[in-house]
Structure formats: C-alpha cells, structure tokens
Chain A
C-alpha cells in the first residue's frame, strides 16, 4: 500500500501546485487502528498527510455534494460509481473533478479482525500486500486479507474505477462469476412472518444516530424525511415501528442508485447489517432493468426516466 500512498501524495502535490485543482480529498492515517480520516488538502506542502491502506472504507463522494471548487479526489471502483451517480444527479459537475483512480483490492472488515483476535486490544496493524499483521500488547497475529474482507468487497465485481482522469496503478483483475446475492435470496425465501421477525431483530439495536444515512453519498436531501416536521412523517423516539420506517424508506430511496460501497454498514456503531435492505433493491433493479448504478455517465437510472413507449402497461 506504500506505493499507492506515495503515488497519491505525488499526484495531489502536482495537481495543487499546477493549479489544476483547488483542493484534494483523500484519507489521512487515523489515530486508532483500522480507522482513517477523510481529509481535505489545499496546501501542496501538506500532501504528505495523505495516506492509503485497506482501512479506507468510507465513501469520499459524500464530501463532494454541491461543492463549487475544482476538486481532486481518490476513488475506488464503488466510490467512482457514486461519483458518476452524483454527476448524473447534478450534485457535482464532471469538469470540476480530477479523479485519481485506485484499483481496489477490498477493504478490511475491522469487526471481523476484532473477532479474529477475540476482542483483545489491537494497538497496531501492519499491512503487506495480501497479508496483514495485527499487533496487541502481548500478541501478534498474521492474517490473509482475503479472509477478512468487508462482505461487500468480497462480493464486488467492480474493483476498478469506472470513471477517472488518471490511475495510481494498473487495474486489478476483476473477479468473475461472483455470487453477490446469496444472502438476499435467503431472506427472500423466508415467509413474511419470518422476514418480519428478521427485520425486527436486525433493527432492534438501532439508536437512530443516522450514521448509516449520513455516511451514504446518496443521502444528500437538504431535509431528510425523518427530519421533516411539517408534516412529521416519522416519530423520533426509538419506537421499533419508527426505526423500521426509517430504515425501509431510506433503502427504497436508494433503489437503483446504491453501489454497495458498504459505508453505511461500516459506520454503524451497533453493527446492524444495513446493507441487507439496499442489496435487495440492487438485486431487484438488476433483475428488472439489468441495471447497476453508476457505470456510465451517458445513461439515466431506470427509476428516474420515463419513456412514452414504455412496454409496461401500468405506467401509460
């Protein structure tokens, strides 16, 4: 990962120095293991702050919304697809951006790492391509990265950026024949009572902190429906019905737009697998419209177009 970091620093410095961009958005190394912090850099002398490793699992597209300056930004496959979605949805203009593409080998699932070391206190992680070493006060363990990837990364088939101005390295090989929706099928196979139970259980620990919503680049509404007060659509207590209403409606609002970047799930402080909602809708749009979000700047998403000659009767 050191090569990526070096290349990102060099690129950012050049872009800022040459006046190609006003600011550069990337990550800096975090103050606790497996957590990096998104950072905005405008001084070419400060590009050494930039950092890259397999703990950059947020979605930086989130920081682009409605910016008016010229921005350099690092983007993995999923992040670049969200940038495309942002451009299509008029949240940013393509010409404002200089996208520095990252061929991505996936992000480490920090929760899985904590489980793997039996919740002993992790003090440091050292990454060496396919492997990484987890260090604690009295232990040191080596893991293969592929065994502890975030679930969305393990089932990803768009690892390389789809839209970029330059790349930090040669593209990685895209995995073939990935089974992305096995977990969704399992939920589909439940009867409605079981499914209700499953969702109830799943959201029961939600504390309504909205980290999932706020980490999502799709959630840029000036006022989210849960924050509306005239009328107030949803109650604000931790009543289970209100909590589920929030999760369901948010997921539907992401239908046909979600790239399964996993940021929502990564940031949840109580570990709710929120992707179970959005993945089902990703599967539906794939089956109904052969659509995967953010692959092309030239095509409008299926849920925001209307054709007079649509073959569906109900829409006419």
Chain B
C-alpha cells in the first residue's frame, strides 16, 4: 500500500486534480456547521472540522431516493407498469470522512448486504464510493468511538486515511481502491520514515484524548425479553419529543419508508429515511400500531442498537460512537446513560 505526503498547498492542488477521476464530496462550512457537498468550482473545502452535523451516510444512502416510476395514463400500453428509475452509479469519493462515519458504513453493511438480502441501490453506490478518512487529532468531549471498536485514527472501513500533521498531510492507502485514488494525485511524494513515525504518535495521543465511553460488555448476556420489560424505559423516554434528530443525524440508522407520489399521470415510488421515533413508523394498515406509545418507540431505538443488532450479527453494537445524538438531542437523552442502564440491568423480581 502506498503512503504519500503532501504540503498543505500540494494537498489542495492534488484534491482539485482528483476531481477529474471521480465525483468528490468534501466538508464545507455551512453557517454554524459543516456539511459534505460535491467538490465543484467555487466549493471551498474546510478540513478544520470536528465533524459534519449530518453524517455523510446520504452520499451512499440518500434521504429520498426514487426507486421506480410509472405512468397512470390509461391510453399508454405500459400504464401502471413499474419501471426502475434510471440511475447512475458513477465513481465517487468522500474525502475527509471521519473514521467513526466510515466504520458506520461497515456496521450498516451487515444489514444492506448480507447472504439473505442485498439492497441493490445501497450496494452499488457503496461499491462505487472510495472512503478517504481524516483522522481526528482533537476528538470531541462526546466522542466514544474507542469503546465501540473504533478510534480517532481507526482504519476500519476506510480506503485511505489522512493525517493532518500541521504543515504536512500524510495520505495512507489502505485498500486497492484507496491506493488507486491516491495514485491519481499528480503532486505529493512517497512518505519517509519520519513522517510515518510522526503520524503514529498522533494516532496514539488522539486516542488518549477520548474521555468518555459506553459500557457494552454485558449486553449480549442479557435476556432480550427481560431487557424489553425493564422498568426504566418510561423514565428514559419521558423527555423525548419523538423527533427524528437522533435518527437522521446518526450514521448507522438505516430504516426507510416507501411512498408513492403522483403528479398528474406520472407516479414515482420513493424511499425516504424513516425514524423509529415517528408514530407512523410501525403503524399498520389495519390501524393497529404495536408501538403506539412514546416509550415503546424510544425503547425500539435503543434495543435495536444495543441489543437486537448485538444478538443478530454478533458484531458489537449498532453505533460507531460519533456522539451526534448526544450533542444534538434537543432534550438531552444520552445514549451513554441508556447503554449503562441496559448493560448494568439485573433482572427485577416479580
């Protein structure tokens, strides 16, 4: 695997040049926060970010995506026939994605790409995406990636990893895809030993700056129905507004809803992100809703992430520790505290 180093200026030039090889998404400052947007003429990438407000999951898994289109014109011989909406899966890259968000794609992959089901849209778009990470020199106070199998410089799920070394940038290729991407950079030179050493030091000092964690070690041994019936859920859920902030900002929330929208005689079948916080989430056609109460929906979110996923895939929790839900929950429901309640839970006497 190749290791390339650049001066900051060279890195800027390299990135501009790389736009010829594929569509690149970069973080930009957007008012009070950062977003990932396509790198076009006039776009000013800003790699001096904590993390983007919304995770870059939408680059692979858009909030709204047209799946099929159809025609309701009775005179059309193909009326009412669902046809796949035309799509392009051009090569793309997310440059500056944080390791937690790259790890999140691996967590989500088990759901979208497994022997039982393969989601054609997610899989094809994921496969056409190169993930070029940016290690976190200064993790936030709400980051807990190290307790869920990641780290501020974790290589998990990344094709390449960038180290911001002040004046210089080290780009480390981690997969063939990543190497190929970096090879297209016209400037930069082979990294020397000293810069590699410096990068290594940066990685370990960043890990030491993570000050918070979530306990997960006992989740697997809990009996699912007992945890489900635990008495703390009403308390946990009291403040919840049942908004979609946690879900929509989360890099590992994958649920979607399918809707038909018609304008005139033209119809589209669209899938939209859904949220287990919404009362419509599991509302059945009969009118029955197995999660009609707020606490049931809040319980679903945490049980899914911290118990069902753990039991089903034996791959840790469905959380990459980015801390967005902790920072941005408008009523301060904190997954770290809920994980603790669940992990420490002892069967209540009847």
User: Are A237 and B272 CB-contacts (below 8 A) given A121-B50, A121-B140, A227-B279?
Assistant: yes
A207 touches B248 (CB 8 A): yes
B64 CB contacts on chain A under 8 angstroms: 237-239
Q: Does A2 contact B (CB under 8 A)?
A: no
Q: How far is the CB of B349 from chain A (nearest CB, A)?
A: 19
Q: Does A39 contact B (CB under 8 A)?
A: yes
Find the A residue at minimum CB distance from B257: A236
Question: Which of B138, B270, B328 is A121 in contact with, Cβ under 8 Å?
Answer: B138
Find the B residue at minimum CB distance from A229: B280
Question: Which of B30, B238, B242, B336 is A39 in contact with, Cβ under 8 Å?
Answer: B238
A210 touches B243 (CB 8 A): yes
Bound complex: CA of A57 vs CA of B239, how far in Å? Answer: 13
B330 touches A37 (CB 8 A): no
B238 touches A63 (CB 8 A): yes
B280 CB contacts on chain A under 8 angstroms: 227, 229
Q: Does B326 contact A (CB under 8 A)?
A: yes
A30 touches B332 (CB 8 A): yes
B63 touches A238 (CB 8 A): yes
Bound complex: CA of A218 vs CA of B231, how far in Å? Answer: 30
Question: Which of B30, B245, B331, B336 is A37 in contact with, Cβ under 8 Å?
Answer: B331
Find the A residue at minimum CB distance from B327: A32
B54 touches A58 (CB 8 A): no
Find the B residue at minimum CB distance from A115: B32
B330 touches A58 (CB 8 A): yes
B142 CB contacts on chain A under 8 angstroms: 32
A209 touches B243 (CB 8 A): yes
Q: Does A300 contact B (CB under 8 A)?
A: no
How many A-B contacts if CB must be within 8 Å? 109
B244 touches A31 (CB 8 A): no
Question: Which of A31, A119, A205, A211 is B332 in contact with, Cβ under 8 Å?
Answer: A31
Q: How far is the CB of B137 from chain A (nearest CB, A)?
A: 12
B243 touches A214 (CB 8 A): yes
B63 CB contacts on chain A under 8 angstroms: 207, 237-238
* 224-238 of chain A: CB within 8 A of chain B: 227, 229, 235-238
A58 touches B331 (CB 8 A): yes
Question: Which of B30, B53, B278, B326 is A32 in contact with, Cβ under 8 Å?
Answer: B326
Bound complex: CA of A316 vs CA of B280, how far in Å? Answer: 40
Q: Does A36 contact B (CB under 8 A)?
A: yes
Bound complex: CA of A223 vs CA of B287, how far in Å? Answer: 12
A254 CB contacts on chain B under 8 angstroms: none
Find the B residue at minimum CB distance from A62: B241
Q: Does B293 contact A (CB under 8 A)?
A: no
Question: Which of A115, A207, A215, A235 is B330 in contact with, Cβ under 8 Å?
Answer: A215
Contact with B along A76-117 (1 / 0, CB 8 A): 000000000000000000000000000000000001001100
